[in-house]
Structure 1
Amino acid sequence: MDDLLNGEAPSGFQKLLGYVLSRWEDGMAELEMPIDDRHLNRAGVVHGGVLATLLDTVSGFSATYCPFPNRVRRVVTLSLSTSFLGQARTGTLVATGRLRGGGRKIIGVAAEIRHRDTGALVATSEGMFKYRPGSENREGTER
């Protein structure tokens, strides 16, 4: 797989959870995360905090694609409304985020998580995000 982050090192939190950016294009992003013991709660299912993190993260990526080499775009989360609709214990989760629209600085994003093998819907979200200074432009900022 090509380095979708164009040489940018994975964050510490990304390494901790073990998700990977599997698809990234203008207005859309996809993360994949193989489930292991560190993701499970006391009931043996993926913890809601892990699901919320994936939804938030994939939403941010969907709004920050930058086609210009050595440049980046960033957002901060203003709000994130989540719905937990199913459970997962094993396998791989696929989180997909899609930019819905908005203005120059504040935008809306919808996201969902599905189980890769079964297609079962596990969680959804709607969020509002604000571009960091310089990121509201498609050219982004220097890394």
Structure 2
Amino acid sequence: MAILVQDIRESFESSPFFNHMGIEIIHFEEHSVKIKLTINEHVLNANGTLHGGVHATMLDFIQGMLLRSITKTRCATLNLNTQYLAAISEGDIFAEANVLQLGYKLAFLEGEIKDSFGKIVAKGTGTFKVIRGSESI
């Protein structure tokens, strides 16, 4: 049975951690995914700015979501690098990703998080294992 892009979207929307983070899917199609997070006090660090773990989480999600929209199969993050470029403490942030290289078992992606004005807040790259058939993580 073929997996549809809508099925993949619904799997993220029903994820407890995805919902706990308050992430919203803005756009979800094959080869094109965009997510949003409205910053609130629960995601701020001791300095009153967005916690770095939130940036990393969004970058991990957006890259994995994009990869799954293309491959229609599960994947697992093997490595995630995050560059924090600007502090932010309020408003909405948006994440999008691009595939840099896609092989049969490995994929390399990059993602960006921008504020409502288009300023880049964080960037990241990830290496993902593409899980085929009954293969385990």
CA distance in 2, matches of 1:100, 1:25: 18
Pairing 1:57-72 to 2, within 5 Å after superposition: 57-65=61-69, 72=72
Which residue of the partner structure matches residue 56 of structure 1?
Answer: 60
User: Do structure 1's residue 24 and structure 2's residue 23 form an aligned pair?
Assistant: no
> Is contact 1:97-1:110 (8 Å) kept?
yes
Which stretch shows the higher mean deviation, 95-104 or 76-85? 95-104
| Misfit runs of 4+, over 3 Å | 6-9
Which runs of 5 or more residues in structure 2 are unaligned?
1-5
- 3-state SS in 1 of match to 2:54: helix
Q: Is the 8 A contact 1:26 1:62 kept in 2?
A: yes
Residue 115 (structure 1) shift: 0.4
Residues paired across the two proteins, number? 130
TM-score, length-normalised on structure 2? Answer: 0.84
Deviation of the 1:4 alpha carbon: 7.4
1:140 paired residue number: none
What's the counterpart of residue 76 of structure 1? 76
CA-to-aligned-CA distance 1:62-88 (integer Å, 9 cap, x gap): 101169xxxx52110011111000011
Aligned-residue identity in percent? 29
Q: Identify the structure with the greater helix proportion.
A: 2
- Provide structure 1 residue ranges, at least 5 long, that are not aligned to the other structure: 136-143
Q: Is the 8 A contact 1:28 1:63 kept in 2?
A: no
Q: Which residue of 1 aligns with 2:43?
A: 39
Root-mean-square deviation (Å): 2.4
